[in-house]
Amino acid sequence: MPSTFLGIETSRRGLQAHQKSLETTGHNIANANTPGYSRQQAVHVASAPYANPTLMSKLNPGQLGTGVEINEIRRIRNDYLDGQVRESISSLNYWSTQEEIYTRVEAIFAEPGSKGIGDTLTNFFRTWHDLNNNPQDPGVKSAVVEVGGELANMLNEAYMQLGLVGDSICKPDAGGNVSGGQMINDLANVKDIITQIQDVNKAIAKIRMQGNQPNDLLDKRDLLIDRLAEYGPVNVINNAPVAGSGSVENNENIKIEFFNFDLAQIDTESMTLKYRPGDNTATPPVADEVSLTINGLDVSLSGAPGRLAGLEKVRGSISNQVDGYREKLSDFAEALKKEINNLISPSTMFSGSLGDPNDKFRVNDDITGDPEAGTKAIDVARLYNAGIADLGNMTFNEYFNGLLSQIGAGSASTANMAENQTAINQQVNNLRESAAGVSLDEELSLLIQFQYGYQASARVMSTIDAMIDYLINRTG
């Protein structure tokens, strides 16, 4: 026979179980608006039933229940949705980062507009038409030089501004190491996040070794993993083989990868960004590239998601030594200088080069003192509609508009993709929140449920206490 006090023990377990459930519900409500928090649930299970040994029976549990106990405080999380969210975070940041940079690039070219390079180019060739009509007019010659100088200044300014945008993304030193720009700032954030994850893993391991469930630390780690996914591809492998993974240190069958490197084995101190210049004389031309070095191995950013790869993609579009916007603008200026100078030789219209601090692209005033310049004006004016061999047989206007179209197409594409990825990210985030997030209505309903359970267990205890009091004190 069980003890007379078994009922009190059963009701005590009911009180404790419902009290823990109330505390867990309160914890959920308190963290309803905490970023990264996952809803927790106190798991109720029936405690081991009473064993009634007899002379002819084995010592096995019988059918008399002994109450309830909390098996675990379970964290509600969907690993598959976590993976989807992180993929969408990486893709969103890949495109949104490019969109931000393209907005700055478009601001450099005031096109279309009366103050832009395209309109000034048209005015420049129009002044040569005017000079053809008035070959010896010094005022018209001065207008040619003035508008040409304005065009040269605009080209210099655009080239410089593109360089500033490129340097703001990535600024390599003489040794090929990236030492400045957004990419190096992002790398510093990556190092910090990885270090934090490694520290949290150690704390999780200590708590698990004590037989406890580190729910809030697991939430912190998941939030850090989400942040890491902003910068590059993250892969979380559950039930990973213990050998060769971070699971030995973490006391978990889980492996977290960044660019396919196990986070538990990444040496953050050795992580760097390397710049390799391109070669436009090679066949085919080799584009310049920035790569990420992890544990001494170079990792290409091409084709990867995340901010680092997005910055590298748009940096290449701007500063690529083979086919970047700056290179095309330089080709435009060099062709303009070559074609006009050849026609008005021995006078010169343009000299210097874009990007050369010691000999910048500029206008000479040779034609103002050249009595023969006016006789050559019609040939220069005709260049406006002529195909230029160095520009792929396009006219100057076509080539420049092609550059603008390329920038506009890149900007529109990244904006559309960023908008699309934002919608996808919101959708999968909502799905994850529906599973792991806290619903105040649901938690308040549970609060009432556990409150009544606690009161009912207390009532059972009071009733049994009265029975025992009657048995001990009022009989006999």
Place of tokens 């969109």: 99
Same domain, 340 and 449: no
Asked if residue 193 and residue 65 are part of one domain, the reply reads: no
pLDDT, residue 113, reads 66
Q: Which residues have a Cβ under 8 Å from the Cβ of 247 and sit 6 or more positions away?
A: 240, 241, 253, 254, 255
What values do phi and psi take at 151, rounded to 5? -65, -45
Helix (H) or strand (E) holding 46: strand 40-46
My answer on whether 68 and 106 are in the same domain is no
Model confidence at 365: pLDDT above 70: yes
For the chain, give percent helix, strand, coil, nearest 5: 60, 15, 25
Tell me if 256 is assigned to some domain.
yes
Give residue-wise pLDDT tens across range 103-124: 999 999 877 766 789 999 999 9
Provide the CA 459 distance to its chain's centre, in angstroms: 56
Q: Are residues 46 and 81 in the same domain?
A: no
Q: Which 8-state DSSP code applies to residue 388?
A: B
Judge if 130 and 38 occupy the same domain: no
Pairing of strands 261-262, 50-51: unpaired
Give the pLDDT confidence score for residue 238 in this predicted structure.
Answer: 81
The count of domains in the chain is 2
Domain that holds residue 469: 6-76+437-473
Whether 410 and 464 map to the same domain: the answer is no
Query: How far apart, in whole angstroms, are the C-alpha atoms of residue 191 and residue 312?
Result: 18
pLDDT of residue 198: 93
In a domain, 1, yes or no: no
The answer on 212 and 91 residing in a single domain is yes
Q: How confident is the model at residue 246, as a pLDDT?
A: 43
Q: Is 289 left (phi over 0), alpha (psi -120 to 50) or beta?
A: beta
44: alpha, beta or left? (left if phi > 0; alpha if psi -120 to 50): beta
Closest CA to 206 of 192, 217, 220, 221: 217
Q: Which two tokens stand for residue 455?
A: 């009161």
Reading the block at residue 311, the tokens are: 């910055």
Tell me which residue has tokens 């655009």: 158
Per-residue pLDDT band at 241 (split at 50, 70, 90): low
279: closest CA among 329, 321, 317, 315? 321
Distance separating alpha carbons of residues 218 and 73, to the nearest angstrom:
13
DSSP state of 38: -
| pLDDT tens-digit map of 338-357 | 999 999 988 899 999 998 88
423 and 348 within one domain: yes
Q: Residue 446: helix, strand or coil by DSSP?
A: helix
Q: Note whether 82 and 228 are same-domain residues.
A: yes
CB atoms within 10 A of CB 14: 21
370-384, 392-406, 418-432: lowest mean pLDDT where?
Answer: 370-384
The residue with greater pLDDT, 427 or 52, is: 427
